[in-house]
Amino acid sequence: MPHAGLMGDRDRGPVEGPLMRARLHVRGAKRRLRQGKIAAGIVTLYDALEAAMDSYAADDAHRAALLQVRPEDLKSTRRLYRALVSAGVLDKSFDFDAFDGLTDRALNEELPGYDYAWVLTGLEDALTRLGVLPFQESSLPPEDPETY
């Protein structure tokens, strides 16, 4: 994964750790997509979204928006996504179910030539709403060119 060896997740805490992970994964996913590693890029974007939602939900400043969320829903990516939509943090413009299905497919097969533009467009909006984007590249550790 793009964050391997670049950060101490546990040292950063439940908000900053996943936030850094999300940013590293966005950067790594875009590199993979440019390299034609579409399946790997899609899976990495999914992980970025998971980390972004975890960071958002762990932040005390966002507790009021998530009062109706049951603790067990914080452990399920699908339920947390729906709770964030219900709370108005995210909107319904991104087709999460289609992205979830695409990610399952990407875990099992390569996707040469797949047009992933809709994924990037929708995720960039969601990641902006979750506070991951924008970020300064200089705020991240240097990328290791040896990572997949």
Q: Is residue 140 part of a domain?
A: no
Residue 112 has pLDDT above 90, yes or no: yes
Q: Is residue 137 part of a domain?
A: no
**Choice between 105 and 142, residue whose per-residue pLDDT is larger:** 105
DSSP state of 60: G
117-134: average pLDDT? 96
Q: Given this model, what pLDDT does residue 108 score?
A: 97
Q: Is residue 40 part of a domain?
A: yes
Q: Given this model, what pLDDT does residue 63 score?
A: 79
Residue 3 has pLDDT above 50, yes or no: no
Q: Is residue 24 part of a domain?
A: yes
Q: Is residue 45 part of a domain?
A: yes
Q: By the 8 A CB rule, do 66 and 83 touch?
A: yes
**20 CB-near residues (< 8 Å, 6+ apart):** 3, 7, 9, 12, 140
Which residue range is the domain that position 23 belongs to?
A: 9-131
Domain count, the chain: 1
pTM to 2 decimal places: 0.88
**Choice between 10 and 43, residue whose per-residue pLDDT is larger:** 43
Q: Is residue 1 part of a domain?
A: no
